[in-house]
Amino acid sequence: MALSVAWIRREGVDLCEGQVLARCCIGEICADVPIGADVAPGVYPLEEAAKSPSLRICVEVLNRQKEKGLRRIEVCRQRESEKCAKKLAEQILLKYGGPILLVGFSDGVANTLLSFTNGAVADAEGRLHPYEFVDVTNPHNWVEKARVVVIAPGALQYVDIAELVKKAKELGKPVVMYGALSALYKDLGIEYFCPYGLKV
């Protein structure tokens, strides 16, 4: 078996900085997954893909998807991105308030969420934005300060979601993941948010 990877687009609410949206498939199981822009489209041996930091997330998502009996997961419709970010911010702020720890930097989501409350963004590298950035490989210290942890689908490439959720639960902090891929992680006890994603 092999993993096939084809680029779909370079922007959208599901992506973090430096990522592209790729259609990843193993056989007939396919998912739209945010991956590093340095990954070339192509076909990769499954063993090689599972060891690659950039492709490992495709394999993980497809395995979770297969376990749940879903053949295809597609992400938010691009034209709905702004509306989705606003609805996400509204839901988070009404239910939890701030401060917020946003894990994974998506400019549209960060702008929307952090224009209404304070918080920090856990990302691979700091950027020249008006946000407090924390290292995505160790966002756990900031979890204590946050009232809620919000996970971007693009963060799957950088952070161990199960470990982050465990730390948040130990501290009594709710975790919300947005995007179509969030449905694959609800077994971790997270809230998921995807009003405009498509599941086929």
* Statement to judge: residues 47 and 88 lie in one domain: no
Within 13 A of 164's CA, how many CA atoms are on the CB side? 29
* Statement to judge: residues 9 and 24 lie in one domain: yes
* Statement to judge: residues 158 and 190 lie in one domain: yes
* Statement to judge: residues 142 and 98 lie in one domain: yes
Report percent pLDDT > 90 for the chain: 8
Mapped onto helix, strand or coil, the DSSP state of residue 105 is: coil
- CA pair distance 177, 190, nearest whole angstrom: 7
The strand pair at 132-135 and 72-74 is best described as unpaired
* Statement to judge: residues 39 and 96 lie in one domain: no
Answer with the one of 41, 74, 107 that is the final residue of a domain: 74
Contact 15, 106 (CB under 8 A): yes
Indicate which CATH number applies to the domain containing 151.
3.40.50.11590
* Statement to judge: residues 66 and 100 lie in one domain: no
Mapped onto helix, strand or coil, the DSSP state of residue 18 is: coil
Average pLDDT value over all residues in the chain: 80
* Statement to judge: residues 137 and 51 lie in one domain: no
The 10 Å CB-count burial string (b at 16+, else e) for 49-87 is beebebbebbbbbbebbeeeebebbbbbeeeebeebbeb
Within 13 A of 15's CA, how many CA atoms are on the CB side? 19
Q: What tokens does 9 get?
A: 């687009």
* Statement to judge: residues 96 and 125 lie in one domain: yes
Q: pTM for the complete prediction? A: 0.77
Q: What is the pLDDT of residues 61-80, one digit of tens each?
A: 888 888 877 777 766 666 66
Flag whether pLDDT at 127 surpasses 90: no
Contact 24, 51 (CB under 8 A): no
Q: What is the pLDDT of residues 73-120, one digit of tens each?
A: 766 666 666 777 788 888 888 888 888 888 887 777 887 887 777 777
* Statement to judge: residues 104 and 153 lie in one domain: yes
* Statement to judge: residues 140 and 67 lie in one domain: no
Q: What is the domain extent for residue 7?
A: 2-74
| Predicted pLDDT of residue 161 | 84
Answer with the one of 39, 54, 74 that is the final residue of a domain: 74
| Predicted pLDDT of residue 13 | 55
Contact 102, 120 (CB under 8 A): yes
- In total, how many domains does the chain have? 2
* Statement to judge: residues 82 and 68 lie in one domain: no
* Statement to judge: residues 65 and 112 lie in one domain: no
Q: Alpha carbon of 172 to those of 24, 143, 196: distances in Å?
A: 35, 10, 29
Residues 6+ apart with CB under 8 A from 37: 10, 18, 19, 20
Furthest-apart CA pair in the chain: how many Å? 47
Q: pLDDT confidence of 17, banded at 50, 70, 90?
A: low
Contact 84, 178 (CB under 8 A): yes
Answer with the one of 30, 52, 74 that is the final residue of a domain: 74
